Amino acid sequence: MDTDDLEPKRPTLAAAPDLSEMSVEALEEYIGDLNAEIERCRAAITRKEAAREGADSVFKF
């Protein structure tokens, strides 16, 4: 059995748009979208850290 098959796959990022073709307004909207995605990731990290801490506290002797 190959242990590489056990590792979760890292999601690939969508192709980044060509920024030179975007207006200032579109760029600002794009930044907002990226910031929202960053916050979503941070919230997921916070939830996972809390779950890990909870599990660690159960198994400490």
Residue 6 lies in a domain: no
User: Residue 39 corresponds to which tokens in the numbers above?
Assistant: 């916050």
Q: What is the DSSP string of 20-38?
A: GGS-HHHHHHHHHHHHHHH
- Count of domains observed in the chain: 1
Q: Which residue has the tokens 């999601």?
A: 11
- The Cα 21–Cα 37 span in angstroms is 22
Residues in the chain predicted with pLDDT less than 70, given as ranges, are 1-5, 61
- Domain membership of residue 2 (yes or no) is no
C-alpha–C-alpha distance, residues 19 and 31, integer Å: 11
Q: Is residue 59 part of a domain?
A: yes
Domain that holds residue 32: 23-61
41 falls within a domain: yes
- Asked, for residue 55, whether it belongs to a domain, the answer is yes
